Chain A
Amino acid sequence: MTSSRAKHTDEKVIIDIGEVSQSFTVGDETVSVLKKIDFKLKNKTFNIIYGPSGSGKSTLLNILTGLQKPSTGAVQFDGRRLYELTPDKLAHFRANEIGIVYQQNFWVKSLNVLENVAMPLYFSGHSRFEAKKRAREALDLVDMRPYEKKNPSFLSGGEQQRVAMARALVNEPLFIIADEPTGSLDSKNGDMIMNLLDRCRKEYGRTIILVTHNMEYLPLADHLLHIEDGMVKQTTDDADIQTTTDDLLLDMKRRIDRLSKERKNA
């Protein structure tokens, strides 16, 4: 399994996060959310960021999607320093090179499924014909083509997430950034989304950055990033992933046992 993964991965570093810190001022207090985070991600890899709530995952994702300029540190995508781009260039970068999937999806309500999927292409300057043509192809990938005329808000959670996947894929981005995409889905739909993400990496060579709580998806990754208290607590590569997963499962088993024991004793 390790060797098959290596086939898709070239050794090129495509995301380089250098000593990124982020603090917010709330009233008189300064809250440090990220403390000198430092990591590199390689091209065409599947990366999972996990950690408890409030660990700074969301802030890290906002920094990675170009929406939140970090207090200090450098964010480099494919050799370009993201936050040295002009606001327009940064918008262009988002439209062209990032695909985003959220836990809870947002839509332009007056537009149908097809045009919501075409949105990133609109913003990167494609004609409506071209954008819609490519949006149909993206909907085909997620088997949602028959729904193209529907209003996305009226679809089920699983269907919405598939359309969101199509929207993230439509601009053929370098990176797909997914923030708890399975968080609101049942396991069947969740598995399907994860399979889609896996296919994106395997078949289309996209680099995936996924934030998740669901431990069962960890084995899909090439690279794990454990964030806690705004710091990278552990990074795990290929061969060690199974061990990490086993440890985490063991840890969970111990917690379950402890809790049930406490209950019996009470």
Chain B
Amino acid sequence: MRNFLTPLIDKLNSLPKKESIHFYTLLYIAWKNFSSKKLRSFLTVFGVVIGVSAVYFLLSFGIGVQQLVTTQVVGDQSLKSIDVETPNSKIIALDETAINAIRTFPHVDSVGILYSFPSITTLDGGEIDVVTFGVDTTYQELSALNLINGRLLIPSDNKSIVISEAALRALGIEQPSEAIGKDILVNIPLSGVEATQTRIKDEFKIIGVIDAGSGSEAYVPSGLFDAAGVPAYGQVKVVVDDIANVDGARKQIESRGFQTTSLADTLTEIDDIFRFFNIVLVGFGSVGMIVAILGMFNTLTISLLERTKEIGLMLALGARRRDVRMLFVFEAGLISLAGALAGIALAVLGGLAVNLAVNLNAQTRGVTAWFELFVFPPWLFFATIFITLLIGLIVVYIPARRAEKINPIEALRRE
């Protein structure tokens, strides 16, 4: 039977002579022994398959759910940004001086600012309350606004406004596209802050419509509030150059008395919960693995006992003790590797099948987006194979030690 492996096998079969047996030859003998005991090898490997697939299936589910939750929480937001607020604006002001200082901190890339005030907004006779945010373009980018019509603010905008679909609907406009280009009257009282003006009241041109759920909100250029002499920002977003530097930058900002929050906090919490969740899942899967380990130990021990004479013979014919030990290690390795590969294959098939079933079920209930409940990252594949091989190595320790201690004279004694 020739196949793509034939050239490799031919090459291995004709390795140059060494002082002692080639590893390849030992591996071949291990393979012959493994494959000559078909039923026993199959059952042993099957045990490992059950154990590995249980662990792999449950873990890929745990990781899948974790990714789903993380994606839901993070969405399009940047993990490199830090939200900065002041615990008490009267004592520590989040003002231009403060953010100019923050800009000079190491690893800080950019700083986005936000003012937020309630306003009364009037259009075509309709009047509603709208939360108005004064933002610069940096802050606007970091807010990941979901634009559905028109455009977002650009630095040259002055009397322009981006408004939420819900606010428009409250004002009687059903089609977002109809609103683009309309002038809208916005009245923002600046009470409670020591601003130079008491209010901002002006006509704004609607340039874009966003989907903000049911919230009535609007975005205008932050420059208007600067000009009105509002002394401090409502919130500031600081962007650092790398996720790894988030913690360092937060510490520096907090040392100036500000409060910071970051998406990383939430992610850490999610990770903590799922770490526990995954440990529980692996715990369940490990029950199968323990049974598999016992099966493997049993098989290797029986193999040792019934091959005492064979091993004695090999030693008499010139095998070194370590060759005999390696023979057992290779046999355990074959069982582990076969079990790991087949176990992973079974778990992946099972995961894909369950995922398909859940998705189809969800679609009948009106969910349109396809989601992945099971995730099979490459590291999990390699880690599973590595750990299964490691387990095989631990399990084979006692049989291999016993094999290499066999006394050929005792083993070959006439019956």
**Candidate in B18, B22, B25, B408 with the most chain A CB atoms within 10 angstroms:** B25
Assess whether A109 is interfacial by the CB under 8 Å rule.
Answer: yes
Q: How far is the CB of A213 from chain B (nearest CB, A)?
A: 13
Q: Choose, from B28-36, B92-100, B252-260, the stretch at the interface.
A: B28-36
Give the distance to chain B from A134, nearest Cβ to Cβ, in Å. Answer: 12
Q: Which of B11-39 contact A (CB under 8 A)?
A: 12-22, 24-25, 28-29, 32-33, 35-37
Mask: chain A, 86-124; 1 = CB below 8 Å from B; 0 = not: 011001111110001011101111110001000110111
Q: How large is the interface on A (under 10, 10 to 19, 20 to 34, 35 or more residues)?
A: 35 or more
Given contacts A67-B409, A102-B412, A109-B36, contact A119 B314 (CB under 8 A): yes
Q: Does A254 contact B (CB under 8 A)?
A: no
Decide yes or no whether A45 CB sits under 8 A from chain B. Answer: no
A93 vs B320: C-alpha distance when bound (angstroms): 11
Check if A106 sits within 8 Å of B318, measured CB to CB: no
Among B21, B29, B35, B312, residue most surrounded by chain A Cβ atoms (within 10 Å): B21
A130 pairs with B17, CB closer than 8 A: yes
Q: How far is A122 from B20 in the complex, measured between Cα atoms in Å?
A: 8
Asked whether A125 is an interface residue with its Cβ less than 8 Å from the other chain, the reply is: yes
* B321 and A106 contact, CB distance less than 8 A: no
Verify if B211 is at the interface (C-beta below 8 Å from A): no
A124 CB to nearest chain B CB (Å): 6
Flag if B320 contacts A122 (CB, 8 Å).
no
Q: Mark B94-119, 1 if CB is under 8 A from A, else 0.
A: 00000000000000000000000000
- C-alpha gap A65/B315 in the complex (Å): 11
Q: Which residues of A contact B325 (CB under 8 A)?
A: none
B-contacting residues, A153-212, CB 8 Å: 167
User: What separation, in Å, do the CA atoms of A107 and B14 have in the docked complex?
Assistant: 24
> Is B131 interfacial (CB 8 A cutoff)?
no
Given known contacts A109-B310, A123-B314, A123-B318, A128 and B409 CB-to-CB distance under 8 angstroms: no
Which residue from chain A places its CB closest to the CB of B19 in the assembled complex? A125
CB pair A123 B313 closer than 8 Å: no
Judge if A23 is at the interface, Cβ distance under 8 Å. Answer: no
Q: Which residue of B lies closest to A104 (CB)?
A: B414
Minimum distance in angstroms from A174 CB to a CB of chain B: 14
What's the Cα separation between A106 and B413 when bound, in Å? 11
Determine whether the beta carbon of B317 is less than 8 Å from that of A123. yes
Whole-angstrom distance between the alpha carbons of A21 and B309 in the complex?
27
- Chain A residues with CB under 8 Å of B310's CB are 106-109
A72 on the B face (CB < 8 A): no
Q: Is A71's CB within 8 Å of the partner chain B?
A: no
Interface pair B20/A127, CB less than 8 Å apart: no
**Shortest beta-carbon distance from A129 to chain B in Å:** 4
A94–B314 CB distance below 8 A? no
CB distance from B148 to the nearest CB of A (A): 71
A95 to B409, alpha carbons, bound, how many Å?
Answer: 16
Residue A62 lies at the interface, judged by CB distance under 8 Å to chain B: yes
Say yes or no: is B228 at the interface (Cβ < 8 Å to chain A): no
Q: Which residues of B contact A65 (CB under 8 A)?
A: 316
Residues of A within 8 A of B170 (CB): none
Tell me the chain B residues, 373-415 only, with Cβ under 8 Å from chain A: 408-409, 412, 414-415
| Known interface pairs A94-B318, A125-B18; 15 further A-B residue pairs with C-beta atoms within 8 A, sorted by A's residue number | A62-B409, A67-B315, A91-B315, A93-B318, A95-B318, A104-B415, A106-B313, A109-B36, A110-B37, A111-B32, A119-B314, A123-B20, A123-B314, A125-B22, A130-B17
Which residues of B come within 8 Å of A, CB atoms? 12-22, 24-25, 28-29, 32-33, 35-37, 307, 309-310, 312-321, 323, 408-409, 412, 414-415
Q: What are 25 A-B contacts with C-beta separation under 8 Å?
A: A67-B316, A88-B20, A91-B20, A91-B318, A94-B317, A95-B318, A100-B316, A106-B309, A106-B310, A106-B313, A107-B310, A108-B313, A109-B36, A109-B307, A122-B21, A123-B319, A124-B17, A124-B20, A124-B21, A125-B17, A125-B19, A125-B21, A127-B22, A127-B25, A128-B12
A residues near B (Cβ < 8 Å) are 62, 65, 67-68, 87-88, 91-96, 100, 102-104, 106-111, 115, 119-120, 122-130, 167
